Structure formats: C-alpha cells, structure tokens
C-alpha cells in the first residue's frame, strides 16, 4: 500500500459522516477520501468502484448493516468500525478489525487508530502483493457469525427405504477409509453420503470434531478417559458403549469439554 491510502467512509448518519471526514482531512498524507456511502448497499458499489485501502464502517445501517456488507466482499480492505453502540465494541472485533471507534469520534482516539494503520501498512510494505493481516481473521469471524440452519434429522438409505434419523438419537460419526457412518443410541450404524468436513459445517455446535475420522455428539458422551500422546478415549452413551479415540491435535477441544 502507498500513502495516502484510498479511503471510503460508510455511515448512514450525515453528521457522523461529516465529522469523520473533517477529522481525517487533517491527515492528507495518510488518507485520500475517494468516496462516501450512506448504507451497506451503497458501500458495496463504492468499494467495487474504487478498491479502497481502508474503510471506516458504521455497523447499524439500513439495507445492509456493516457485518452483512463485509460478508459480501471478495477482497477485504483494512476495516475500522465506527459505532455508537458499546455492545459492538467486543473483543473479537478489537482483535480482528484494525480498530473500532465509538461515536462521537474524538481526535485523540482517532490518532491511535491512525498509528495502528501506519504500523500495519509499513509491515505490509515488506511483503509482496497486498498485505492485510486482519482480512483472513475477519472473514472467518463473519463466517462464524452466520446463523446455521437448524436441522432436526439426517436421511440415510436402508435397503430400498430412506430413513430420517433424529439428531437427538445420533451419538457420533466415524470415517472408515472412503466411507462415513452415522451411529445411533440403539447401536445402529448407517452409511452416509457426506464427508466429515461437510458434516462439520452443517451440524449444531454440540457436535464436536475430535479427530480426522470422528465427530461426536457431546450430549451423548458417557465418559472421557486419558489416553497416550495427548489423546483421549471418548465413551459414548449408546447401547454398545462405543469408544472414539481423539486425535492428538484435537486435545484443546476435548479439554474445553472437560472444563465445562
């Protein structure tokens, strides 16, 4: 990135927009304000048109809020959130965006943001191509915020029939070579047409990936036994008291279960 940074301001409050512009125009060597937008939908148009280096983004806006707008971007600029709502100034966005500013924006607080932007940009100038250390984390966070569709059952084939297995009866999933199997409380085992990765993306949060070959329903865990090399043996509450061995790199997920 080269200074001054191409900058877009996105806010549905004209007074807030004008105030932010006045403050940023005091730093012409750092910011070149190329456009403004009054909502997320306009913001998408202006970002596509100007390809900014940095955007100052309100969160609560009509049509598309700030988070919804960001989720539609294919290339992420540096993002500074501005909001009047303290509840949005949460640690996750403090860590994954460049910064956040509470309205009304004060010059002293803005100076700290400018310093952060300069540090990030200078670090990026030592790398090839566009360098934004926050983009990947922010995109991942936005993806995690998307509500998962609630699912109540999974369909499996049994001979010529298609059965609907309630999620409440599923204890765990296991991969064997190229196949993935669903296991139930009554000890039944069914072949699925899913990969474990695709299952992991659609299952509720209480289903936990514990190895490359296993996902367990934490609601149906009977006990957890320490194994060797940082692994655990998870005993399920099904008719067969099935045992699922965790992978050594999944220890944090298991320990999180033990702490709860």
pLDDT in tens, 49-94: 999 999 999 988 888 888 889 888 888 899 998 887 666 555 445 5
Q: For 153-259, which CATH class?
A: mainly beta
Q: Which of 78-82, 173-177, 226-230, 254-258 has the lowest mean pLDDT?
A: 254-258
**Is 164 exposed, middle or buried (CB count within 10 Å of its CB: 0-12, 13-18, 19+)?**
exposed
pLDDT, residue 114, reads 94
Residue 217 above 90 pLDDT?
Answer: yes
* 3-25 pLDDT, tens digit each: 999 999 999 999 999 999 999 99
State the DSSP H helix or E strand holding residue 136, giving kind and residue range, or none if neither.
Answer: helix 135-145
Q: Which residue has the tokens 């149906």?
A: 220
- Inter-residue contact 244 to 172 (CB < 8 Å): yes
Q: Which of 1-10, 199-208, 237-246 has the lowest mean pLDDT?
A: 199-208
Q: For 5-145, which CATH class?
A: alpha beta
What residue segments make up the domains of the chain, in order of their start?
A: 5-145, 153-259
What pTM was estimated for this model as a whole? 0.56
Helices 107-124, 14-24: inter-axial angle, 10-degree rounding: 60
């Amino acid at each position: 990135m080269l200074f001054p940074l191409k900058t877009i301001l996105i806010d549905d409050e004209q007074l807030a927009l004008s105030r932010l512009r006045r403050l940023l125009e005091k730093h012409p060597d750092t910011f070149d304000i190329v456009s403004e937008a009054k909502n997320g939908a306009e913001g998408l148009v202006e970002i596509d048109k100007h390809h900014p280096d940095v955007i100052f983004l309100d969160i609560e806006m009509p049509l598309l809020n700030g988070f919804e707008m960001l989720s539609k971007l294919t290339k992420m600029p540096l993002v500074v959130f501005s909001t009047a709502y303290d509840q949005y100034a949460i640690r996750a966005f403090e860590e994954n965006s460049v910064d956040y500013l509470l309205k009304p924006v004060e010059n002293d607080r803005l100076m700290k943001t400018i310093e952060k932007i300069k540090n990030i940009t200078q670090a990026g100038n030592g790398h090839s191509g566009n360098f934004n250390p926050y983009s990947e984390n922010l995109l991942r966070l936005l993806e995690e915020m998307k509500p998962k569709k609630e699912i109540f059952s999974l369909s499996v084939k049994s001979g010529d029939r298609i059965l609907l297995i309630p999620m409440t009866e599923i204890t765990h999933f296991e991969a064997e070579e190229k196949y993935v199997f669903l296991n139930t409380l009554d000890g039944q085992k069914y072949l699925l047409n899913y990969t474990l990765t695709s299952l992991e993306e659609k299952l509720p949060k209480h289903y936990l990936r514990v190895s490359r070959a296993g996902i367990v329903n934490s609601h149906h865990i009977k006990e957890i036994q320490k194994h060797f090399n940082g692994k655990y043996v998870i005993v399920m509450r099904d008719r067969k008291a099935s045992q699922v061995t965790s992978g050594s790199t999944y220890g944090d997920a298991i320990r999180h279960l033990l702490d709860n």
